[in-house]
Structure 1
Amino acid sequence: MKTMRSYINQYVELSVSGRKDCVRGLFIDIGSDIMVLHDGERFLYLPLLHLQQMSLSVKQEAGVEFSGISWEPSQDLSYRKVLMNAKGMFTELYITGNQSIHGYVTSIMNDFFVFQSPVFHSVLIAMRHLKYLIPYSPNATPYAMNPTSFPVSTPTMALARTIDQQLKKLEGEFVVLNLGENPGKIGLLKTADTPIIEVITSGGASMFMHIDHVKTVHRP
């Protein structure tokens, strides 16, 4: 970690789990389990769990300027603290596939959190699968909507402490796993007997999946 700190204030490129292209930016700070980059416009918070490779970038993106960046180093910067600070702030998350989701962190449990999205509604996100988080400016709203059109509210479902306990609570309900990136991960959650869950797909067949591969869960 000490060696990585020597790269702070330098332009770097990262290989991040699940992304084909590199993430580039000015290396701003690092905590116990998360690092911070600035891409010239916004701050990116990347959990170290998904850092596959980091190196100095051979070139800086054309037109990107880093003058005037305001950042106060934190002695206790951590993934959970970043999530806590993001509650109620319009945020972009990258988890899986080729798309980001946008909305608000509303609840934080032991190993998952709840994200309210205009598109996906209440999404349960396993903490170990978040690749990065990008807060928007304080006055930004999803899709420039009036705040009254998408009020931030706490989830109506009863929340468990862990993602496996939450899946158990959802037995018998229709769910979408991993943002529906695969049609086989959409269906009736029949059983959630850790470490395996069983989903009945559209054709009536059973699909079995290890719970560690459940990145997100939402009810359409």
Structure 2
Amino acid sequence: MFVLSIQSLRGQIVDVVLSRDIFFQGKLIDSGKDIIVLSDGQRYIYIPLTHLHRIKRSTLILNNEGTSSQTSPTVAVDESISYRTTLANAKGRFSEIYVTGQIPLHGYIFNVRSDYFAFYSPVYKTMLVSLQHLKWLIPYYNLKNSPYTLPDKKLPVIPYNQPLLPSLEEQLKKWEGELVVFDLGEDPMKIGLLKSVRNPMVEIVVANGETVYVKLSHIKSAHLP
């Protein structure tokens, strides 16, 4: 019923509030059972419904009325849009994602697994991103230059040559014994030696030698420094 209600706003300029009071305004281009698509006139913004707190018809009018000069990224007309089809369609395309912290990440999705996806960032390299913690995805469709104007050798087609396991828990277990960074390292208690992964908890040893247990379901991203 909630999804049907959102569909009644399609084609209209809407105000959207996400968790942490993140605000977007744009034309509601499409909606599915677990995702909506906005256009702010420059970009297409894909927002999983998990993080949508509020949506309403806007009292303000965008100067460009939410239209975009970019090629439409939506799936075929006869295919229902969903979070997973969106991720699949974005694979290999330079994109902006937001997971946590003060700034979004830039890079590209190169693999989608059961409860996480693998993301290559020229800054952070290979990252594991929990599906439940992605706040938004903005694919770039008309880049005139390579990302950051980097040469191709800095943007590898296969950035991680080891097979990725189906679940985040399994993949993190493979990293046991490695130094890991959770959630971009904003919290020093989430940077350390990964000792063990036993759902629901992950055990790490931080810089001062303390053992810290982090709840697996609260891990938003992980990468090896």
Q: TM-score, normalising length from structure 2?
A: 0.90
What is the rounded CA distance, in whole Å, between the counterparts of 2:68 and 2:113 in structure 1? 36
Shift in CA distance, 210/14, structure 1 to aligned 2, threshold 3 Å: same
What is the rounded CA distance, in whole Å, between the counterparts of 1:138 and 1:8 in structure 2? 25
1:4 to 2, 6, 23: 6
Paired position in structure 1 for 2:55: 54
CA offsets 1:95-129 (integer angstroms, 9 cap, x no match): 11111000111111111110001000000011111
Paired position in structure 1 for 2:66: 66
Aligned-pair RMSD on alpha carbons? 1.8
Q: Identity rate of aligned residues, in percent?
A: 39
**Conserved in 2, the CA contact under 8 Å of 1:116 and 1:152?**
no
2:83 to 70, 79, 82: 79
Q: How far does residue 166 in structure 1 lie from its aligned partner after superposition?
A: 1.1
Give SS of 1:4's match: helix
2:122 to 99, 118, 121: 118
What is the rounded CA distance, in whole Å, between the counterparts of 1:141 and 1:184 in structure 2? 35
Shift in CA distance, 67/112, structure 1 to aligned 2, threshold 3 Å: closer
Paired position in structure 1 for 2:194: 189
- How many residues matched? 218
What is the rounded CA distance, in whole Å, between the counterparts of 1:212 and 1:190 in structure 2? 17
Q: Which runs of 4+ in 1 moved over 4 A?
A: 67-74
Q: How far does residue 74 in structure 1 lie from its aligned partner after superposition?
A: 5.2
What is the rounded CA distance, in whole Å, between the counterparts of 2:67 and 2:123 in structure 1? 35
What is the rounded CA distance, in whole Å, between the counterparts of 1:144 and 1:115 in structure 2? 19
What is the rounded CA distance, in whole Å, between the counterparts of 1:162 and 1:49 in structure 2? 19
1:100 aligns with 2:104: yes
What is the rounded CA distance, in whole Å, between the counterparts of 2:222 and 2:18 in structure 1? 22
Map of 1:17-36 to 2, 5 A cutoff?
A: 17=19, 19-36=20-37
Q: How far does residue 23 in structure 1 lie from its aligned partner after superposition?
A: 1.5
Shift in CA distance, 21/122, structure 1 to aligned 2, threshold 3 Å: same
Shift in CA distance, 74/95, structure 1 to aligned 2, threshold 3 Å: farther
What is the rounded CA distance, in whole Å, between the counterparts of 1:76 and 1:85 in structure 2? 13
Q: How far does residue 144 in structure 1 lie from its aligned partner after superposition?
A: 2.6
**Conserved in 1, the CA contact under 8 Å of 2:37 and 2:46?**
yes
Paired position in structure 2 for 1:41: 42
Query: For residue 13 of structure 2, what is the amino acid of its counterpart?
Result: Y
